[in-house]
Amino acid sequence: MGLLERIRSGRFVPDNGPALAAPGRRLTLHDAGARVDGGEELLIVVREFLDQAGRADAHELATMIGERPELTGDARADALIAGVAEHLAAVREVRCPDWTSGPERFLDRFWFVSNEPGFRAIAIAQTPVALKRRGILWPARSLVRV
């Protein structure tokens, strides 16, 4: 079986580690938090989650965001994970989990996710409320995956 066939069938395992998610199983925010806590890059994990969340129906999405992720020790990661859950719940009209409102899920200082100074005005103007109220400035278009 070739690489493309293994990817299509869900049997592909990268050489550098375990499969990102079991075939037929969606990545949850609980899983995402554990992966970030394990040393994986926050934005890569969040974008993978967003990819899967975009293809999930409302019931699946509620399951994907429902279980409380453990704190990662990185305030930015903990706030972003909660903000993503709250944003998706609002946009997709599912119940927002209670764990998202804990004080440990908010930043004390603003964080511009992009380091590009030219994008700061866009981030200020276009960040969804769920992220902005946590001190995260990341435009809504960054939360939409194809």
The whole-number mean pLDDT for each consecutive block of 10 residues of the chain, a chain of 146 residues, reads 66 55 75 95 95 93 96 97 97 96 97 88 94 95 78
Per-residue pLDDT at 31: 96
**Domain positions in the chain:** 27-143
pTM attached to this predicted model: 0.82
pLDDT score, position 34: 95
Rounded Cα distance between 128 and 72, Å, is 23
Q: What is the pLDDT of residue 2?
A: 65
* pLDDT at residue 30, rounded to an integer: 96
**How far, in Å, CA of 30 to CA of 35, rounded?**
9
Angstrom distances, CA of residue 4 to CA of 11, 44, 51: 10, 22, 19
The predicted pLDDT at position 15 comes to 58
Q: Report pLDDT for 18.
A: 42
b/e sequence 19-53, b meaning 16+ C-beta within 10 Å? ebeeeeebbbbbbbbebbbeeeebeebbebbbebb
The pair of three-digit structure tokens given for residue 29, joined into one six-digit string: 């925010």
